[in-house]
Amino acid sequence: MEKQRGIVVRLEGERIYLRELRLEDAQGNYPNWLNDPEVCRYNSHGDILYTKEMAKEYIKSIQNSLTCKVFAICENVDETHIGNISLQNISVKNKNAEFAILMGEKSFWGKGYAKEASDMLLEYGFNNLCLHRIYCGTSEANTPMQKLAHAMNMEKEGVKKEALFKDNKFYDVFEYAIVNETQK
């Protein structure tokens, strides 16, 4: 759930729901995801040991933020926290935000949960936050994220040459975006 101007919002899906990231999430598997080389294979995490205390500080820093909305992705049946999804760098002036997702529980990979969560977040961003454009960037090596961006109807906008340094190698970053055509 996310508190937005005193209103509690819980985004419900078919198999999952999105709720605010909570301090108690730091006691679960969430910090371990950021220490897992497979989970962090394509992102900027995993270079330093991520602790529960660091997770708590991060969660505190985003609570009540106007420029970052981070949700826990939770499975409906047993309420397992399986990942995080966010709109960050929200610009009210430019009506845009950056999309990010981290699927931490590997047993849920490849089963459509990321797509379901992404569709819910796009709808929230366009309809509740009145955004016009949502964008993301991903490593050239991250084909799962590239497939997800295409499944979200994002268009490839360009390439940032050698913009990501990971595992002693530079990677190009592919840029994607979707525009809400009803907001023109």
Residue 172 contacts by C-beta under 8 Å, 6 or more apart in sequence?
Answer: 139, 140, 159, 160, 161, 162, 163, 164
Read off the amino acid at residue 145: M
Residue 8 contacts by C-beta under 8 Å, 6 or more apart in sequence?
Answer: 1, 2
Domain-located, residue 167: no
Domain-located, residue 171: no
Domain-located, residue 140: no
- For residues 69 and 84, the answer to whether their CB atoms sit within 8 Å is no
Encode pLDDT of 134-169 as tens digits: 999 999 999 999 999 999 999 999 999 999 988 899
Domain-located, residue 150: no
How does residue 5 score in pLDDT terms, banded at 50, 70 and 90? very low
Beta-carbon count within 10 A of 127 CB:
12
Count: domains in the chain: 1
12 - beta bridge partners?
17
Domain-located, residue 49: yes
Domain-located, residue 51: yes
pLDDT reported for residue 4: 47
CATH number at residue 68: 3.40.630.30
Helix axes 113-123, 143-151, angle to 10 degrees: 50
End-to-end CA distance of the chain: 29
Task: For residue 171, give both structure tokens.
Answer: 């990677």
pLDDT reading at 2 higher than 80: no
Encode pLDDT of 9-57 as tens digits: 689 999 999 999 999 999 999 999 999 989 988 877 767 788 999 999 9
Encode pLDDT of 96-129 as tens digits: 999 999 999 999 999 999 999 999 999 999 999 9
Domain-located, residue 96: yes
pLDDT reported for residue 183: 63
The pLDDT of 70-90, averaged and rounded, is 96
Q: Which domain holds residue 61?
A: 2-131
